[in-house]
């Protein structure tokens, strides 16, 4: 369900904020809501139901988004909106704000730390050779 947030609208784990583009055009509230529906996997019919409008209105919003972002498909448009800051992944924002901007790095997110008791292949081979001898 689309919900109003402090800065814009939210759906699922994403938040959309109406943003002025470098070209001077503005991504409107309704376009942000349509983009939120798309990034959360809703079809045009489902988005229309969520936004209380018709499917053709959703289609028109996407045509406007394509024009304003200078793109021709939804995936590229969504990526561009993410890059511009109009769409934000809400969970990542919460993690960064709760730990502090410098408190987390990309390696912390991508790879869990190795336990200190883990044996490497070389250490296992050495201990196996000692057991045989």
pLDDT 10s per residue in the chain (133 long)?
888 888 889 988 899 999 998 889 999 999 999 999 999 999 999 999 999 999 999 999 999 999 999 999 999 999 999 999 899 887 655 454 555 544 444 444 444 445 555 555 566 666 666 666 6
The structure's pTM equals 0.66
Token pair for 125: 């081979």
3-state secondary structure of 41: coil
Third-level CATH fold of 3-104:
Arc Repressor Mutant, subunit A (1.10.10)
Residue with the two structure tokens 């070389």: 122
């Amino acid at each position: 369900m689309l919900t109003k947030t402090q800065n814009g609208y939210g759906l699922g784990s994403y938040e959309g904020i109406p943003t002025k583009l470098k070209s001077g055009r503005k991504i409107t509230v309704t376009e942000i809501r349509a983009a939120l529906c798309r990034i959360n996997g809703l079809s045009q019919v489902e988005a229309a139901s969520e936004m209380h409008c018709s499917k053709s209105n959703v289609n028109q919003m996407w045509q406007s988004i394509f024009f304003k972002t200078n793109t021709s498909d939804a995936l590229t448009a969504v990526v561009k909106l993410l890059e511009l800051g109009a769409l934000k992944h809400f969970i990542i924002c919460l993690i960064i704000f709760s730990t502090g901007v410098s408190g987390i790095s990309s390696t912390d997110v991508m790879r869990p730390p190795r336990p200190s008791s883990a044996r490497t292949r070389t250490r296992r081979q050495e201990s196996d050779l000692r057991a045989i001898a």
